[in-house]
A and B are shown apart, each in its own frame.
Chain A
């Protein structure tokens, strides 16, 4: 399964993001952002599956919670930023 990380500026914002996705029936997990994607040191991300990403971005746009940055979790464990 391929996953994406939606990087959020704060834990509370990540919780709002995850709650909006869950309300739309999209499974979302909150985790601390890996250092590789975290520019400022310590942030939280919301993990969604590839098949849900497009719908998730739509839901978040409608909810007024636009993602700051999104990363693809690569097969080798690396992260690749997705241009929105």
Chain B
């Protein structure tokens, strides 16, 4: 299997991730729920994971690193903390349903700062213009999960800070391969999955809290048990119920892997692979590739479509050839609307640190064979 769907979840993990998870299953209980060895071991692992994430993402207080089930979970906490019905919220045109569905559910007034694909200056100008009307919050993804477009989030965050507007960053596609620094962004919240670029297992995510959050779940925390409201301190305020210790143990190893490799090394490798795929695919007749004119504007995600061929059929064909890609709308109809691909969808190729040039070559050969059918 050639796996090119890492924007959904990375499947090839450093081997120490699975080993740590297996150890946790047999040897870790719930952190903070007892003084015995297995509870202490869980507590030490959870704290080590918070600390490692805090150092990677520029957080001075590790208690502000909260464990979630995935990025969607974290985004829901962030959005429901800051947004009420009727509030004006400015988002980019590249957002995932993890952002837009909660906003619709709440009944927010959604204002889209729309700009052409891979136009970072235009994107920033669109946010500046949209913010002239004020906003209760700004929500922006760092990297489009469909096109790999790297949005100018440092500059957008600066716009927000200057206007004292809370900023929520969706780092689903950037955590682990781009610099994501809370100390530089000053974001109210940064949500990310643990199972993509951080190479942890599915069922893990992190929410970095720059603001005081409202809990989405309520229940036991192993702290302040006499109180019937949730603790007013982090991370307990957001971590009701038993922790996913196998997941956290795996995530810790994934973060350690990313830190030892270096995000810039991972990004460079992924970019090289994506440029190769773009170059080879675009040489095929009838294949339209969505490649950034400037390589620094695109991370390890690439979309393409084939004239006269349904993207889902192409995805199915490649799957049968043992190549895992993702076709369709990628849970991001807003992004496809912005790029003009809503009617057709695209085939998405997304890489990780474990893919090779040879695998991308085989992808192009398979697409070429598909065209000749």
Contacts and interface: CB of A to CB of B under 8 A. Distances in A.
A42 B222 contact: yes
Contact of A43 (B31, B63, B224): B224
Contacts of B317: none
A25 B338 CA distance: 57
Given A11-B47, A40-B226, A42-B222, 16 more contacts: A10-B32, A10-B223, A11-B32, A11-B236, A12-B236, A13-B233, A15-B47, A19-B47, A32-B34, A40-B223, A41-B225, A42-B223, A42-B224, A42-B225, A42-B226, A43-B224
A81 to B, nearest CB: 18
B322 to A, nearest CB: 45
Size bracket, chain B contacts: 20 to 34
Q: Is the interface of B mostly helix, strand, loop or mixed?
A: loop
5 contacts: A11-B43, A11-B222, A13-B63, A30-B40, A41-B226
Interface in A1-15: 9-13, 15
Contact of B227 (A12, A30, A41): A41
A12 B62 CA distance: 8
Query: Which of A9, A10, A16, A31 has its CB near the most chain B CB atoms (within 10 A)?
Result: A10
Given A11-B32, A16-B63, A40 B47 contact: no
A40 B228 CA distance: 10
Nearest to A31: B35
A41 B223 CA distance: 7
Contacts of A19: 47, 51
B348 interface: no
Interface string B226-240: 110001011110000
Given A15-B47, A32-B35, A9 B62 contact: no
A22 B53 CA distance: 21
Contacts of B269: none
B43 A9 contact: no
Interface residues of A, number: 17
Contact of A40 (B43, B50, B63, B224): B224
Nearest to A40: B224
B215 to A, nearest CB: 14
A33 to B, nearest CB: 10
Interface in B8-49: 31-32, 34-35, 40, 43-44, 47
Contacts of A10: 32, 63, 223, 231, 233-236
Nearest to B63: A12
Contact of B32 (A16, A40, A41, A44): A44
Interface string A34-50: 00000111111000000
Please list the 7 inter-chain residue pairs (A to B) with the smallest Cβ-Cβ separation, ordered nearest first.
A41-B226, A41-B225, A11-B32, A42-B225, A40-B224, A15-B47, A12-B63
Contacts of B31: 11
A29 to B, nearest CB: 10
A16 B62 contact: yes
A50 B130 CA distance: 60
A40 B225 contact: yes
A31 to B, nearest CB: 6
Nearest to B39: A32
